[in-house]
Structure 1
Amino acid sequence: MKILVLFYSSYGHVKRMADAVVEGVKQVEGAEVILRRIPETLPETVLEKMGALEMQKSFKDIPVVELSDLENADAIIFGTPTRFGNMTGQMKQFLDSTGGLWAKGALIGKVASVFTSTGTQHGGQESTILSTHIPLLHHGMIIVGLPYSFQGQSRIDEITGCSPYGASTIAGGEGERLPSTNELEGAKFLGNHVATITSKLTR
């Protein structure tokens, strides 16, 4: 059973969440987790002005995804920051390149889930995940969210991400806030939950 964790991260917040998702997947017996990154489309000069170049360089040891990675996986967990309440252009461009997989129905019946990071509490936590579901549904994938059995999403004692739609974190307007313990636990729960459901389906 292969679980692909596929992410794009500008400043490292989504990468930290991806690591927690990977940890959750590994808790499920028989699950092989594969971590891949979405290719960067911005030139280094722009990334440098954004203050994201050094973080992008730190991801170089993680292989860039290939379409065959999606086809060979039993489940795919997508991680993307938000851009104006939607997925990043990098993630959208990659998904737009999967038309060949769609044409042959290669992803039909595979499990899919999404996690995200936003700058503010109401900056697209839910809309980013829900809008990312749309192309996955067109691919015929089975969408899995974050159930309320992860009780951390019901907390009101702190500002926190995570919703029934998926795991999420709040980065702060300047990216100064790292994922909290609760948000990382939500991401870990999501990885475990997706792998558990995939295990039942692949049987």
Structure 2
Amino acid sequence: MTATVLILYYSRHGGVAALADKIAIGVQHGAAEAKIRCIPPLDSRHSSRHPLVTEAELVNCDGLAFGSPVRFGNMVADAKAFWDSTTSLWLRGDLIDKPAGVFTSSGSMHGGNEATLLTMSLPLLHHGMLLCGIPYSEPELHQTQSGGTPYGPTHVSGHHADSKLSVAEQRLAIAFGKRLAGLSTQLKQHRG
């Protein structure tokens, strides 16, 4: 009875995609299946190395990690448009009581990471999902000089759109994935 955690993201310069990859490692360490998918872009010229998400994958996941770059303290328009299109899932209650968390990447330390994570959480709460962050029992959360928050994994790329994660950012993303996998598995077994 393996749980499936959907890692759903949009990435422009690679920082969010790099976090998604590390979260997937954590999910696998947590003995769950990681399924990485992308949000459909509004600009058809934008491409990704992961397949686009289907409605069935979203409905059938046992847990969700949702990622977007920072845009003025909010998720990108592509991610907002995606959630705006999920009214039928909301009406049916397809995502109620599934664990979920958020992750993001910005160009600077004060670029709006925490505000973005909070605004990204709102559609998940409306869908009845159970939010999961990173507890302060993770030592890197006390020591990070770049990304990482209790609200979820973050990456600070600098103004050069660097997708290379710091060691602390990597460890926090893996810990987040492992925690999300554990919660998804426990709740799936409980629903049994």
TM-score (norm 2): 0.93
Correspondence list, 1:1-203, <5 A? 1-29=3-31, 31-44=32-45, 56-57=46-47, 59-60=48-49, 62-155=50-143, 159-176=145-162, 178-203=164-189
Answer whether contact 1:153 1:160 (CA < 8 A) is retained.
no
Answer whether contact 2:13 2:162 (CA < 8 A) is retained.
no
Deviation, 1:43, is 4.7
Deviation, 1:176, is 3.5
Q: Which runs of 5 or more structure 1 residues have no equivalent in the other structure? A: 45-55
* Counterparts of 2:187 and 2:138, CA distance in 1: 21
TM-score (norm 1): 0.88
* Counterparts of 2:51 and 2:43, CA distance in 1: 18
Change (3 A) 1:140 1:155: same
Answer whether contact 2:5 2:62 (CA < 8 A) is retained.
yes
Answer whether contact 2:13 2:163 (CA < 8 A) is retained.
no
Q: Which runs of 5 or more structure 2 residues have no equivalent in the other structure? A: none
Deviation, 1:178, is 2.3
* Counterparts of 1:102 and 1:42, CA distance in 2: 26
Per-residue CA deviations over 1:178-201 (Å, capped at 9, x if unaligned) read: 211110111111000111111222
Deviation, 1:120, is 0.6
Residue 48 (structure 1) aligns with: none
Per-residue CA deviations over 1:7-64 (Å, capped at 9, x if unaligned) read: 10001111111000000000122x11111011111253xxxxxxxxxxx54x24x210
Root mean square deviation of aligned Cα = 1.3
Answer whether contact 2:18 2:163 (CA < 8 A) is retained.
no
Per-residue CA deviations over 1:39-98 (Å, capped at 9, x if unaligned) read: 111253xxxxxxxxxxx54x24x2101111110001010011010010111110001010
Change (3 A) 1:177 1:110: closer
Which amino acid counterpart does residue 22 of structure 1 have in structure 2? A
The aligned length equals 187
